[in-house]
Structure 1
Amino acid sequence: MSDPLASDHVDIVQEPGPNEMRDPLVRAELKRASVWFGLAIAVALVVLLIQPLLIIFGGLVFASMLDGGARLLGRILPIPRTLRIVITILLAIAFVAGVFYLTGVQIAQQAEQLRTTLEVQANRVAAWASEMGLMPGRSDLTGLVQQAIGSVGRLTSAVGSVIGAATSMLMIAILGLFLALEPRTYERGLQWMVPIEHRDEFAITLARMATTMRRLLAGRLFGMLFEGVITWLALWAAGVPMALLLGIITGVLAFIPNIGAFISGVLMIAVGFSAGPETGVWAIIVYFAVQNFDGYVVLPLVARHTVDMPPALTIASQILASALFGVLGLALADPMVAMIKVALESEAERAERASSGKRPRWRRAPQDAAPEEP
């Protein structure tokens, strides 16, 4: 005979409380909070470790230069990759040493002359501005300059001294050399840090970043060579003093577009007017002619085969990077923005494929995008 109370027995399932981990709502909120907390930690780490991160990124930039040179040599020399990188380094050293060997004495003399000329011209401008009431007196001006130098020194303390800059450049060169010698090893290491279902898309993004970096740097180097040589020849033909040194400075500063061109233009015009009004006018003509030809003819041709970034975005990134990270950040602003641009474009393509319901599929990157085998 069955128990009459058995039919009345009902299992009571207790709902999880608001503070229990088995509550789906609690788990969802914890996941959301952990994402924001991790993002805050990542931002704090970037701020604290910005100088080492910039050195690492500089090593990537240097490695891209070596990789590009090795790939060019690989088209004519069927030799191992390591030998091609060594040849690339030797050719770069030979070029720099040859330039300074052939023109070293002339460059040294012109450098001293340039310093004296800039001091004289700066004093003239300061005196004229003080007479017109546009600037404070010399004593007040000296105090303002000292305060400005002190604030800039705090921003660029890591690379402000000669020893610090030399150490940073040495570390960048060594890191870039190791990365260029064995790119596959480091690429596989990065892929292992990504979930296996996303590794194909991550590999495509890495390949695009590498190609973009090489093309950007190739365009920069071509622009540096073009502006330096053309400026030197044009200033020499116009009779502007220190044409060779101004050409070298213009070529070096061309690595930082827009801002570098402005600085070289100020130097060029100041030196031109030191030799007389007519020479100063010729310096202005040369500056605008070279910059216009470079901006409307050379840069569009280079951008068509490299990376076309909006000028406003380039200038804004350079100002922000220089204010936050100093000189090294200013020099690396363009490559950083280019890498972010590639990453955002790849993420937008992935989101578009996901929203359209298309399955992710491997798309072969450009032929020169994949790292070479040793």
Structure 2
Amino acid sequence: MASGDIGSGDLARVARSTLVVMLIVGLAMLTVQFSFVFLLIFSAVLVATLIRAAGWPFRRVGMKDTPSVFLGLLLILVVLGLCGWLFGAQLTEQFTEVASQLPQAFEQARSLAEQVPFLNSFLSGTPDIQSMMGRAVSFAFGAVGAITNLVLVIVAAIYFALDPGLYTRGVEKLFPKSEGARVREALSASGQALNQWLIAQFATMLIVGFLIWGGLSMVGVPSAAALGVISGLTNFIPLIGPFIGAAPGILLALAQGSDAILWTIVVYVIAQQLEGNVLTPMIQKYAVSIPPAVLLFALAALGSLFGMIGVIVAAPLAVVIYVLITLLWVRDTLGHEADIAEIDAPPPPDSNAPEGSKQGH
């Protein structure tokens, strides 16, 4: 009889373990299937961080959270509208000029490169401008889906920005109650790190854009303002963004002669050297610094999975994951010192402390 009871208990444990394994496998499969949804959720978190950062001055003067969020959103819209009013006509004309000149400049660069044997064999496998335009037309048919996703991200970002604590507490409840304080601390630290990284990155983008604008204007490259905006925006993508932003300016300089090409390259090199050796070390002192190799693999992984949107969000997502792993795994699980002093993360709660002190809000 006893042996039968033992057998039933073992069978029940095996059944529970099997169900747990099946649940984990099912969740993993769902994660893969809905990975793009998770990417949209993080994009909404990213926009919500920007909105709350814009509302920070209003919270500093004692305004409540909800009005400060809406005023922060209004401030962003006013700044964008003001920039459009001041520079919209000029930039629209210049972007139109860049779009009309780039195909001819690309073909000119291709014909020059074909004169070099090594480059000729390399370019033989690259698509021509007609196939590139065909892909652009195909992409245009997906614009409706992109606009829908953009609206979804913005609306979700507003909800996130209005009450981030609601969603933080929801994530905290997915973990054991005894670990709630550590999870809450790690989420708060990762949010602060993301906020600091975004502020530092946008400051760098703004300065680089003005440097390229001014430098190309002095060199005489047409549409310098539009090229400066392109360089500033692409600088959001670390490591490869500066090269993407420099390509249109160098292509347009081909029509100006060899001297213009040389000076254009000099402008981009000087701007990026100032950004890499002066601006970034100064600004990133106030933000979490991610090892370049980690960023490179994050760009490669998310780019291969999600294309351009994955490349765009790779760096901020790497910041959040880096902080979470550093606090929850490296520090709390393995016991190593956490090297994220930049975000002033508080020490981990004492595991021997009373439950009330660990969960106090």
Equivalent position of 2:51 in the other structure: 66
Whether 1:106 and 2:87 are equivalent positions in the alignment is: no
Q: Aligned AA for 1:342? A: V
Q: How does 1:112-123 map to 2 (within 5 A)?
A: 112-123=96-107
Quote the offset at 1:124 in angstroms.
1.7
> Amino acid of the residue matched to residue 71 of structure 2?
I
Shift of 1:359: 3.0
Q: Which residue of 1 aligns with 2:62?
A: 78
Amino acid at match of 2:35: I
Give me the whole-angstrom Cα distance separating, in 2, the residues matched to 1:42 and 1:54.
16
After superposition, the C-alpha distances for 1:189-241 in whole angstroms (9 at most, x for unaligned) are 22233221111111111111111111111112111111111211122122221
Q: 1:65 to 1:16 in 2, by over 3 A?
A: same
Partner Cα distance (1:85, 1:43) in 2: 35
Which residue in the other structure is 1:366 paired with?
none
* Aligned counterpart in structure 1 of residue 277 of structure 2, from 286, 290, 296: 296
Contact 1:58 1:172 in 2 (8 A): yes
Q: How does 1:192-211 map to 2 (within 5 A)?
A: 192-211=173-192
The one-letter amino acid of 1:314's match is L
Q: 1:257 to 1:190 in 2, by over 3 A?
A: same
1:89 corresponds to which of 73, 76, 89: 73
Aligned to 1:22: 9
SS at match of 1:351: coil
Q: Does 1:243 align with 2:224?
A: yes
Q: In the aligned structure 1, how far is the partner of 2:290 from the partner of 2:134?
A: 32
Distance 1:149 1:128 in 2: 24
Q: Which amino acid aligns with 2:9?
A: R
Q: Which residue of 1 aligns with 2:332?
A: 350
- Spell out, residue by residue over 1:39-96, the C-alpha distance to the aligned partner (whole angstroms, 9 max, x if none): 4323321221122211111111111111222223322x32222222222222211222
Residues 229 and 147 of structure 1, relative CA distance in 2, 3 Å threshold = closer
CA contact 2:44–2:153 (8 Å) conserved in 1: yes
> Residue 264 of structure 2 aligns to which amino acid in structure 1?
A
Counterpart position of 1:328: 309
Moved more, 57-66 or 228-237: 228-237
Question: Aligned letter for 1:238?
Answer: V
Q: What amino acid does structure 1 have at the position aligned with 2:332?
A: R
Whichever residue aligns with residue 67 of structure 1, its letter is: R
Counterpart Cα distance in 1 of 2:52 and 2:108 = 48
Residue identity matched to 2:293:
A
Query: Equivalents in 1 of 2:314, 2:225: separation in Å?
Result: 28
Q: Does 1:128 align with 2:112?
A: yes
Of the two structures, which has the highest relative contact order with CA contacts closer than 8 Å and spacing of 6 or more?
A: 1
% same residue? 22
The 2-side partners of 1:103 and 1:298 are apart by 25
Q: Contact (CA 8 Å) 1:232, 1:246: kept in 2 or not?
A: yes
**Following the alignment from structure 2 to structure 1, what is the Cα–Cα distance between the partners of residues 229 and 129?**
31
Structure 2 residue identity aligned to 1:90: L
Which structure 1 segments of 5+ residues have no match? 1-11, 363-370
Name the larger-Rg structure: 1
| Range 35-44 or range 280-289, more displaced | 35-44
TM-score under structure 2 length normalisation: 0.83
Amino acid of the structure 1 residue aligned with 2:3 = Q
Q: Match of 2:229, as an amino acid?
A: I
Q: Distance in 2 between matches of 1:252 and 1:38?
A: 42
1:241–1:275 CA contact under 8 A, matched in 2: no
Q: Which amino acid aligns with 2:221?
A: V
In structure 2, do the counterparts of structure 1 residues 140 and 62 end up closer, same or farther at CA, with 3 Å as the change threshold? Answer: closer
Distance in 2, matches of 1:95 and 1:264, equals 23
The amino acid that maps onto 1:319 is: A
d(CA) in 2 for partners of 1:282, 1:36: 62
Is 1:338 aligned with 2:319? yes
TM-score by length of 1: 0.80
The alignment partner of 1:14 has SS state of helix
> CA shift at 1:351, angstroms?
1.5
Please give the alpha-carbon distance, in whole angstroms, between the structure 1 residues aligned to 2:231 and 2:134: 24
The one-letter code of the counterpart of 1:14 is S
The corresponding residue for 1:307 is 288
